[in-house]
Amino acid sequence: MSRFAAPIAEQVWDMKYRYKEADGTPIDRSVEDSWRRIARALASVESDPAAWEAPFYEALEDFKFLPAGRITAGAGTGRKVTLFNCFVMGTIPDDLGGIFEMLREAALTMQQGGGIGYDFSTIRPKGADVKGVAADASGPLSFMDVWDAMCRTIMSAGSRRGAMMATMRCDHPDIEAFITAKSDPARLRMFNVSVLVTDAFMEAVKSDGSWDLVFDGKVYHTLQARDLWNKIMQSTFDYAEPGVIFIDRINAANNLNYAETIAATNPCGEQPLPPYGACLLGSVNLARLVTDPFSDAAELDGAALSKLVRTAIRMMDNTVDASQFPLPQQAAEAAAKRRIGLGVTGLADALLMLGLRYGSDEAAAQTEAWLKLIARESYLASVDLAKEKGAFPLFDADPYLDSGTMRLMDEDVRDAIRENGIRNALLTSIAPTGTISLYAGNVSSGIEPVFAYSYTRKVLQKDGSRTEEKVVDYAVRMWRELKGDAELPDYFVNAQTLAPSEHVKMQAAAQKWVDSSISKTINCPEDISFEDFKDVYMQAWDSGCKGCTTYRPNDVTGSVLSVSETTESAPGEQPAAQPVPEEGGEIIYMQDPIDRPQELEGSTYKLKWPDSEHAIYITINDIVVGGRRRPFEVFINSKNMEHFAWTVALTRMISAVFRRGGDVSFVVEELKAVFDPRGGAWVQGKYIPSILAAIGGVIERHMISIGFIEGEGLGLKTDPQAKVIGLENGRRGKACPSCGQYELVMIEGCMTCAACGHSKCG
């Protein structure tokens, strides 16, 4: 029998984690082969690899321990990829040469698949003097635009786009422009942005005090702290960004506050990291550890959890040695501190199996107890590793034990660390687990509540036929297997029906025993008042959270999921939010490329680039699928033999993308963003930054002409014949850039596709 609990789980494995030859031929014949590959790779750094391969395999078996996607996809493949998910780059110097050296390092990191975070507070504000050149500074936001353009041109390992986090201190003179930067929908699309909020600022907000904006000791502007706070809140209320990071609290609680200062996080915010800091991630699947679910005897097997955590810690510590790093500075930082981030997934499902309502006091208490057990076992396992292999090089017992996190730890754990040292400076983190949760059978993601108990996913097959797959939450499926058609109890709640305060309560309960941080989205109703919205952030501050991320659907962010009458729901509740199918343009996800028909309609365009002897001819052929015309293949030809190699490569790559379906208009965006360092050209009164950008413009005009997109700079055009079911006010959010379906949801601080699992945060 298959180990996969749902068809979507096997599809995610095949798409993202299965080891294949370059031509797509599978090397991993089964998921057992994948588990064996990972276990063998992580055991290879042991003095006795054979002794550890079997325990590592046992931890992976049946999706109990879920290493993050980089490890699952890359371990044991021999490919030049990092097994670390996230990085914070070096401190950006306040000079042009240093800034662009940092840009080069970012590109190298993203090329290997790592998400990156940067603090832009170190760059002087717009209008400040630039000594020696008699000019004014352009400010940090102008350089963020450069980073954004770079990110658009880099495709991360495993076909994942790189994700970036930008932070800025609440006292930087350009903070107001930073707060509102993403109100422009075309700007900083590759960034998540967060404000670094200090304790002093929060005190000024509460006391209605004044607040100085300062750089390099100079006060540029003074304003009321509440005015700045309200500006942050208004932007977040309207655009879901910026996030808020309580940076002083993070540094005070950091086990390594004696050796580092943190000013940035990874893209989803669960890993506050120092310059060149890196963290690898993994999660224990709590849903797999519940015995006798939905009965009076239901409980989570504490002994099994303890054993699993201890094995997982050893596997993650070994990953530090097994991984490659894009930069030597990152390798040195990881070796000095051996930071890892073990978290959980399936928390909401596990609570359901025990009959606990997510957001209740009982569920919060149970969450805190589970996370404390995981923290204890993680620290004790790391102490055992220190006895065997040595403590991390920068370990210093007294200041380490005096950090905010360690002062809370049980005395027997503190004594063990004092006597033997510890292998890993930090050990726990709650990471986004959207894709690996699907891979594990659609368990609830991280510590999030269940978003939708079931939804229908349409898959376009290679022969053009369509199949429908019902994707059901793991706990709901288990309920049906045990209880048949019995009505779901009233403790089955979802992200939309929970009060924001209940989200915060669960985040705070988990945070107490997590030494890094937590990726968590607090879903707010569209009609929440602005004052109540602000109270959510103040509750997060007052309850000890290290940051806060909210999502409120509206005309700008989109109403990404709608209510369907067929969705399973608890008694007395509105039905759970469910992704909406389209009746006409139902190209959602292609399992395989479509076969090419014998004949296709198309158009040929002539592109004359200035100073080029020969024109370029671009032929675009279209296919009709679901009553809709869409681009299917491209041919680019020129008599200029200098163009031959790259035009052939471009032809093949773009055609391959087109044949995969979904919203492929991003191809235009990527091409138009390419600039030629030798300079572009003026074409028909418009400056084009490169010949590749000109080709992108031709493809865009073709897409407009066939009705695939609405206009220049716009995404997938709504099918005029499609009837969208259940949308409020006729609104919907953006299409997934991977599969084209309108099923993007904000999960753990990152827009994630409910249909295919795509997330820009990786």
CA 756 to chain centre: 14
Using the predicted structure, report yes or no on whether residue 755 has a pLDDT greater than 70.
no
The answer to whether the beta carbons of residues 193 and 242 sit under 8 Å apart is yes
CA distance 28 to 751: 30
Lowest mean pLDDT among 95-104, 105-114, 213-222, 671-680: 671-680
Q: What is the pLDDT of residues 328-367, one digit of tens each?
A: 999 999 999 999 999 999 999 999 999 999 999 999 999 9
CA distance 475 to 564: 20
Residue 270: active-site member: yes
Residue 487: active-site member: no
Of 86, 268, 545, 750, the catalytic one is 268
How crowded is residue 207: how many other Cβ atoms within 10 Å of its Cβ?
Answer: 10
Segments making up each domain of the chain, as ranges:
91-247, 601-705
Ranges of beta strands (E only) in 97-190 are 115-119, 129-130, 135-136, 155-156, 160-161, 164-169
Using the predicted structure, report yes or no on whether residue 596 has a pLDDT greater than 60.
yes
Of 53, 260, 270, 377, the catalytic one is 270
Using the predicted structure, report yes or no on whether residue 9 has a pLDDT greater than 80.
yes
Q: Is the pTM of this model over 0.85?
A: no
Token pair 């209605």: residue: 208
Using the predicted structure, report yes or no on whether residue 593 has a pLDDT greater than 60.
no
Q: What does 541-560 look like in DSSP terms, one character per residue?
A: HHTT-SEE-EE---TTT---
SS3 label, residue 385? helix
Lowest mean pLDDT among 40-49, 61-70, 604-613: 604-613
CA distance 73 to 16: 7
Sign of the Cα pseudo-torsion (145, 150, 153, 155, in order): negative
Name residues whose C-beta falls within 8 Å of residue 516's C-beta, 6 or more positions apart in sequence: 270, 271, 272, 279, 341, 426, 428, 429
CA distance 343 to 363: 18
Residue 753: active-site member: no
Q: What is the mean pLDDT of residues 635-647?
A: 80
Using the predicted structure, report yes or no on whether residue 283 has a pLDDT greater than 90.
yes
Name residues whose C-beta falls within 8 Å of residue 642's C-beta, 6 or more positions apart in sequence: none
SS3 label, residue 8? helix
Q: What is the pLDDT of residues 408-461, one digit of tens each?
A: 999 999 999 999 999 999 999 998 888 899 899 999 999 999 988 887 766 655
Half-sphere exposure of 293 (CA within 13 A, CB side): 20
Of 85, 257, 266, 442, the catalytic one is 266
The answer to whether the beta carbons of residues 541 and 547 sit under 8 Å apart is no
Half-sphere exposure of 304 (CA within 13 A, CB side): 15
CA distance 114 to 756: 21
In the structure, what pLDDT confidence band is assigned to residue 307 with cuts at 50, 70 and 90? Answer: very high
The answer to whether the beta carbons of residues 306 and 157 sit under 8 Å apart is no
Using the predicted structure, report yes or no on whether residue 2 has a pLDDT greater than 50.
yes
418, two tokens: 């004092």
